[in-house]
Amino acid sequence: MRVPRVVSAAVVLITFATVAGCGGAGRSGSKVTLDEQEATRRAEEIIHQAVDGMSPEPTLERVPLAPIGACLADEHSSGERVQVQLTYRLSGVPGSAAKQLVRQARDAWVKRGYAFQSSDADWNDPYPTVSMRTERDDFWMDAITGVMDKEKGTGVASLGVTSPCFRPGDASALRAGRPPLAPPDAPPV
């Protein structure tokens, strides 16, 4: 059966796209303060913004990756910051609909004003990829088509969302009236 290889290929593609597009404090210069629960909720919201209303209607199948991990943008730091990454395979639809689902995800995100990370997908390509981000809170997302059967032109679509990096406890500290943790290299106040 070829499905495990396809899912593995999709996971590799999603991980590559996420690493290549991982955000830090955001290009807009705004500091995003959140915790794991808020980051997960927002990532799920962005996924549903893309999926709700799709036709044909897919089933969201979570890719079994750890949803929280070290901040990929902090390659030379002490590793205190983390980020949430959620990835879903869009299943329950014909493999020939994968490209159409990626296009619908792109359209839903464009409608919400999200920015492209790179040029729009080449829609003449049988397996397009879209990378975008939310400028307001710096979540990064991608819609990817992977190959199931190249001869038949069928594929599998997946959506991924990665949160900005954060320190665990920062948001809950702010809500409690305490200042967030200082970065490890920050001068004493």
Whether 187 is covered by a domain: the verdict is no
Say how far apart CA 87 and CA 44 lie, in whole Å: 10
Say how far apart CA 150 and CA 137 lie, in whole Å: 37
Mean pLDDT of 21-46: 71
pLDDT at 90: 95
Mean pLDDT of 108-131: 90
pLDDT at 125: 85
Q: Give tens-digit pLDDT for 128-158.
A: 899 999 999 999 999 999 888 888 877 899 9
Q: Is the dihedral of CA 99, 52, 67, 118 positive or negative?
A: positive
Per the structure, the complete domain to which residue 154 belongs is given by 3-175
Is residue 97 scored above 60 in pLDDT? Answer: yes
Q: What is the pTM of this model?
A: 0.73
Whether 180 is covered by a domain: the verdict is no
Whether 35 is covered by a domain: the verdict is yes
> What's the pLDDT band for 183 if we cut at 50, 70, 90?
very low
What DSSP state is assigned to residue 63?
-
> What's the pLDDT band for 106 if we cut at 50, 70, 90?
very high
> What mean pLDDT, rounded, does the chain reach?
77
Q: Give tens-digit pLDDT for 67-81.
A: 888 888 766 666 688
Whether 184 is covered by a domain: the verdict is no
Whether 169 is covered by a domain: the verdict is yes
pLDDT at 168: 84
Whether 28 is covered by a domain: the verdict is yes
Token output for 9: 């290929």
Ranges 56-70, 100-114, 175-189, most confident: 100-114
Say how far apart CA 116 and CA 98 lie, in whole Å: 20
- The total domain count for the chain is 1
